[in-house]
Amino acid sequence: MPIGQQDSGAGGAAKGVTSTMGNAAGGLGKTLGGVVGATGRGLGDTINSTTGTKQAGDGLQSITGGVEDGANSVGKGAEDLGKGKK
């Protein structure tokens, strides 16, 4: 959009709401993904150290790490949409 031109009226208001919602949804998704990832790493380490086997703990860490990565990707996509990026 050229300098000095601004969205006004309903279109501008809709873009503002979309931006806010996209950024909020993206941030929340990334936060939840981070919580799942951190929890999985902590539980995985606990399982590894208490059972003496690495397979179960590493498997849990792998699964929760995948959830975290997916949530981060979806969150970034939502934020990008909120910023008008494709």
84 lies in which domain range? 39-86
According to the model, what pLDDT value does residue 70 have? 95
pTM of the model as a whole: 0.71
Residue 71 falls inside a structural domain: yes
Residue 23 falls inside a structural domain: no
Residue 79 and residue 19: Cα distance in Å, rounded?
8
Residue 52 falls inside a structural domain: yes
Structural domain total, the chain? 1
According to the model, what pLDDT value does residue 86 have? 63
According to the model, what pLDDT value does residue 46 have? 95
Residue 65 falls inside a structural domain: yes
Task: Print pLDDT tens along the chain (86 aa).
Answer: 455 555 555 555 556 677 888 888 899 999 999 999 999 999 999 999 999 889 999 999 999 999 999 999 999 998 888 777 76
Please give the full DSSP string across the chain, using - where no structure is assigned: --TT----HHHHHHHHHHHHHHHHHHHHHHHHHHHHHHHHHHHHHHHHHHHS-SHHHHHHHHHHHHHHHHHHHHHHHHHHHHTT--
